[in-house]
């Protein structure tokens, strides 16, 4: 998957999560809403995948990945 496709995935999941927050009355600070937690985890995972799909920024320790 290209970095662009990964970024698109992350953006799409972020929009889905925001849309959920707008309509869901439950608290999202804890585990009260499993759907919100699922969406947030999917978005976070997509963000990391997107970051890993790119070259490391200059100065970053490559052993940290």
Q: Which residues of the shown chain bind Zn ion in the complex (CB under 5 A)? A: 24, 26, 33, 36
Q: Of 24 and 42, which has the nearer Cβ to Zn ion?
A: 24
Cβ at position 38, least distance to Zn ion in Å: 9
Quick one: tokens of 28? 């999202």
Q: Of 12 and 26, which has the nearer Cβ to Zn ion?
A: 26
- Residue with tokens 């970024």, as numbered in its chain: 7
Cβ at position 36, least distance to Zn ion in Å: 3
Taking the C-alpha atoms of residue 31 and residue 56, their distance in angstroms, rounded to an integer, is 33
Task: Name the DSSP letter for residue 29.
Answer: S
């Amino acid at each position: 998957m290209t970095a662009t496709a990964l970024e698109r995935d992350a953006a799409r999941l972020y929009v889905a999560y925001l849309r959920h927050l707008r309509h869901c009355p439950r608290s999202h600070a804890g585990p009260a809403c499993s759907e919100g937690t699922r969406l947030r985890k999917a978005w976070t995972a997509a963000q990391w995948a997107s970051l890993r799909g790119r070259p490391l920024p200059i100065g970053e320790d490559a052993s940290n990945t």
